[in-house]
């Protein structure tokens, strides 16, 4: 019962980020790094980070963009080994990523190769941020971190650093919704619903929920 209750909470999730050889696993691109943090009841309680060898050399653009070199990957374990470990790390938790469709495609592709699955659902922090922070200059992760004055060491495009920043942004979004609309606890389902709402309907939608009885979501 406790696990089922925790799985419904938006503040108990695995936040993840992949660095990859390109944009699409359907075009043969592979993951080269996974970074993730486990949030339990609003606190970061565990982390996962690992480079992984895709079995081929990456191009200079990806090396420059990520800071991950072919030499680093040559010494890294193969994708299959890392993804076995990461599947265990995920467990049955729900998942969050910034631009989640990208990370979900690679997670699904890499897990399919080793015949592993996950039972949680995805939510996208970028889509939710577009609804909650409509005055932000844009909704890239770095811009939102600056917009909300979230402390950072300035490192981006490495998987663990990006997942850490996404986790902090996610928790700030939850706190802002709680403070502005008096909704607590906030369910994972509600965050998924928010990502699909039109921007013009978000305020009235949350305002209505804040006036419902506790436990409605």
Point out the residues of the chain with pLDDT beneath 50.
Answer: 1-2, 213-217
Residue 157 has what pLDDT?
A: 66
Residue 213 has what pLDDT?
A: 46
Residue 178 has what pLDDT?
A: 96
Is 93 marked active-site? no
Q: How far is Cα 67 from Cα 56, in angstroms, rounded to an integer?
A: 17
In a domain, 24, yes or no: yes
pLDDT in tens, 142-198: 999 999 999 877 656 689 999 999 999 999 999 999 999 999 999 999 999 999 999
In a domain, 36, yes or no: yes
Residue 1 has what pLDDT?
A: 37
In a domain, 216, yes or no: no
In a domain, 101, yes or no: yes
Per the structure, how many domains does the chain have?
1
Residue 152 has what pLDDT?
A: 79
Candidate list 93, 98, 139, 157, residue with the active-site label: 157
Residue 156 has what pLDDT?
A: 66
Structural domain range at position 102: 2-210
pTM over 0.75: yes
In a domain, 215, yes or no: no
Residue 98 is part of a domain; what is its CATH number? 3.30.420.10
Residue 153 has what pLDDT?
A: 72
């Amino acid at each position: 019962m406790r696990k089922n209750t925790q799985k419904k909470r938006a503040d108990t999730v695995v936040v993840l980020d992949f660095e990859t050889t390109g944009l699409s696993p359907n075009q043969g691109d592979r993951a080269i790094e996974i970074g993730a943090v486990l949030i339990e009841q609003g606190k970061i309680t565990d982390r996962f980070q690992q480079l992984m060898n895709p079995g081929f050399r990456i191009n200079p653009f990806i090396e420059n963009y990520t800071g991950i070199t072919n030499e680093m990957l040559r010494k890294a374990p193969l994708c299959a080994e890392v993804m076995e470990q990461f599947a265990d790390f995920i467990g049955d938790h729900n998942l969050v990523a910034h631009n989640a469709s990208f990370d979900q495609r690679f997670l699904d592709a890499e897990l399919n190769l080793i015949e592993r699955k996950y039972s949680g659902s995805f939510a996208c922090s970028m889509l939710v941020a577009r609804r909650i922070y409509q005055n932000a200059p844009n909704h890239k992760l770095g811009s939102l971190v600056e917009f909300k004055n979230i402390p950072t060491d300035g490192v981006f495009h490495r998987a663990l650093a990006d997942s850490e920043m996404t986790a902090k942004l996610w928790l700030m979004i939850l706190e802002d919704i709680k403070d502005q609309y008096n909704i607590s606890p906030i369910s994972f389902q509600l965050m998924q619903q928010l990502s699909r709402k039109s921007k013009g309907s978000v305020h009235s939608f949350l305002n209505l929920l804040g006036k419902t009885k506790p436990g409605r979501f």
